Structure 1
Amino acid sequence: MAPDPIVGADLTDGALQDEIELVGDLVVAASASEGPLSEDEIDEVLGVDRGMGVAKGAKSPQHV
């Protein structure tokens, strides 16, 4: 059984928060679109550069 969290401890997960924000961005973009988003539109919303395979501004796995 996991121990109880420390009172007042920060219970956030940075990576999870980033993913939640990305999903939110997709929901907003999809809501504003008259039809389904294309793969290119999704990549743009997520900040993905297809040539590199990593989000714009993110470090690629070999540079982490």
Structure 2
Amino acid sequence: MTTDPHAGAELTDDALQDEIELVGDLVVAASASERPLTDDEIDRALGIERGQCEGPDEATEHAHRIWKRQNA
């Protein structure tokens, strides 16, 4: 038995979860392809359009919002 008051507390990291889901989407897309994915195919798997986002954080957030909408 532990005396740690936080033992068993749920640990969450929303940004990490978003990244894991995006990597999962890429793995699924790559597994379905017989060749390496093109940049456009990667963008499509992530649910983003080229030139739409300014940086990686914004791209991740945008792709996650699209994914949630598509899978709701």
Task: Give the aligned length.
Answer: 55
Deviations 1:19-47 (A, max 9, x none): 00110110111010011100000001111
Bigger fraction of residues in strand: 1
**What is the RMSD of the two structures over their aligned residues, measured on CA atoms?**
2.1
TM-score (norm 1): 0.70
| Range that drifts further, 21-30 or 4-13 | 4-13
Q: Which runs of 5+ in 1 are unaligned?
A: 59-64
SS in 2 for 1:35: coil
Percentage of pairs with the same residue: 67
SS in 2 for 1:44: helix
Q: Which amino acid aligns with 1:15?
A: A
Bigger fraction of residues in helix: 2
Query: Which one scores higher on RCO, CA 8 angstroms, separation ≥ 6?
Result: 2
In structure 1, how many angstroms separate the alpha carbons of the residues matched to 2:7 and 2:39?
44
In structure 2, how many angstroms separate the alpha carbons of the residues matched to 1:17 and 1:37?
23
TM-score (norm 2): 0.63
